[in-house]
Structure 1
Amino acid sequence: MHSKTSSSALLVLLILVVAMAPRALMATAVPKQQQQLAPCMYIFGDSLVDNGNNNYMLSLARANYRPYGIDFTGGPPGRFTNGLTVVDILAELLGFSPPLIPAYAMARPTDFARGLNFASGAAGIRPETGNNLGRHYPLSEQVEHFRAAVREMGPSGAAPERLGRCIFYVGMGSNDYLNNYFMPGYYTTAQAYDPPAYAAALLQDYSRQLADLYVLGARKFAIAGVGLIGCIPYELARINDQQEPAAAARRPTPTNNNNNNSGIGISVGGITLTIGGAGGRSRGGGAGSRPAANASSSGRNSAGGCNDRINSAIAIYNKGLLSMVKRFNRGQQLPGAKFVFLDTVQTGKALAANAAAYGFTVLDRGCCGVGRNNGQITCLPLQRPCNDRSKYIFWDAFHPTEAANRIYAAKAFNSTSNADAYPVNVSQLAAAT
């Protein structure tokens, strides 16, 4: 009798615990294992999807310290967020069972045929992009790493009929603007190109590197556009000319914390590197263009908007990127290849417009960082982040939280709207023959 009573009480307790579970815990639960929709997945990109390739480089573009990965327990550190990246979640949705797709720098030869992540923080399409942050792998080197992996896999793992069914996720371009074009004090591209010419030059290089992947066996490409980087906390912090004294009191120390176009310099171990750039300022982000909307724990940004000069340049690039995808899908240049364009701008605008429905209350500042909008300097070692990451769209000055990444991944994977994925979504790409 006593045993039966205890069992009933325990059952009631378990039901109450489940019913009272935090929304974030329920939302981030690992989905039920499904059939794997692709034999392998290969990832190319920058810090938005890097999962540790930069860990042991002499670079400021590293995330191998807490609180980065504070909500991640599935392997070594290195992700530029609190938990999973958008490609981690896409891999889950594609049915890949743990462990997640490993970083190439830490992978074993037995991992190669299943999938590899070649992404590198600070990377760009252009080889010089991101050099202000130190060592990293630009897209051309990432492609070379894949070439080496193909040789390592041999005829069975790299068979054309096998690689042709794999998903190749590529997301490049953000740093070619933030850590190149809009840093005229460090780079000369802004003097050599106007925005349309620069976008055309980037896309010419990009298409050549994608063609190299095609020659190596890639056929199914998910190409991510560049988001509204004029609205990230780093740019929102730079719009306001007022200095933030707290930023100067923290280490690493900024060596140039004014609102010019050359970025913030940081000295680490006697080496001075520069983070981010800006081009012009705008006080009117336009309807739907600012993630801050009107809701935040800090209220509306005092400047009231995003950096429209950057967002306008990004719009030119994304339009050209979509045209490139359409051209490749016509099949004359790369016969048999299938390309999907992931429109992160439109997905991001929809996320901001429906933030409350997703549970977000802080849209314009990082969960972890220093200064205005927690965006003047990114998250520092052992810094205490916000308590409830599920309420923040941004983890730090530049990168989304896992909660936001889950929405981006879900839209890419199963949205029926061409505003999110064109001409089909990633699940349909995986199923295509």
Structure 2
Amino acid sequence: MSVLSGKKVLLGISGGIAAYKTASLVRLFIKAGAHVQVIMTPASKDFITPLTLSTLSKNPVHSSFYNEDDDSSHTGEQAKQNAEWNNHVELGLWADLILIAPATANTMSKMVNGNCDNLLIATYLSAKCPVYFAPAMDLDMYKHPSTIASFDALKSFGNFIIPAESGELASGLSGEGRMAEPENIIAFLEADLESKLPLKGKKILITAGPTYEAIDPVRFIGNHSTGKMGFDIAICASNMGAEVILVSGPTHLAVNNTNIMLIRVVSAQQMYDVCHQYYNNVDVAIAAAAVADYRPKNVANQKIKKNDAEFSIELEKTKDILASLGELKQNQFLIGFALETENEIENAKLKIQKKNLDLIVLNSLQDEGAGFGKPTNKITFIDKSFVVEPMELKSKEEVALDIINKVIQQYHA
């Protein structure tokens, strides 16, 4: 999955021949899973139509500070009242990143000097997100001292240049000045964004879902865990740049992410074995699975017939995965979960000590909206110093982000 997936991209197009490439650029953003809005300078409409970009981006294209009512019978004050205002501040705040491509010499000069005579420059000056620009112009223009000064000034403002490429230019000359190809622009953005992700280079082991402990070939002891919490944590960790090993018990959930290695298991013993296989090579372990505490001591080879009025099963303890990881812990940041129904805080603190945890995520079945099979969760963080931090009821996706933010704080304190 691309790091651009879910990102809100504002594409600014200025008036150069390379504007024709922006149709392909918008398509690639959409294919990567990004949400795209487009701002065109008036001059850029000579090279590509707003209708093309609107169709590809699935959003209206912005060009002026307001869009007048299509009803031409309205004039003067009535037309102004019916006009739809394009709020440049709102557009700038909406974006996770702004890309100006092509960035002509004229547009770059306006960006440097704050010459705010169109919607694109007004939005650029209002933006708080990262801004990337892809220059495009003829060879002599690209090498001109004023253009080089614009590059230096824009970079000093914190903007990021996507260097032009060499090749045949619109003038017929050959040399540096061609706007980078759309595929190369996307690759540049992905590489740059990935390098800045807070968990880039970290490996995280996550357990999720229930375990099923066999009674006979058709029956088992299990629980109601869906695995959603663990899967949401894995997705969030991956989005922050981590390489994730997700060990899941039986669940209908799936992931489509090259940064997440999903290993499916059934029993507590299988989950134990996989966790120990990878634990020494990870930086963080998050035990979100609802692992069975007991399993049948003897598993029948054939289906048990319903004969007697009463039937008993002798149980034995399963291996405690979290405690075993705590014993082996070296530099790993170890996070456990506790699902309690009484004396929640006290029991969670005991679990921190007993299992050598750095952080515990406490769930209480007494809280409405928390527990198995629900889209929400209400948790309390307790760290190894017994600092208690209760959280509000949130969606499990938001809870996952809170948990991963605790991991980020560990490495970026």
Same fold by TM (over 0.5)?
A: no
Which has more strand, going by share of residues?
2
Which of these two proteins has the greater Rg computed from alpha carbons? Answer: 2
Q: TM-score, normalised by structure 1?
A: 0.32
Q: Flag the structure with more relative contact order, 1 or 2, with Cα contacts below 8 A and sequence separation at least 6.
A: 1
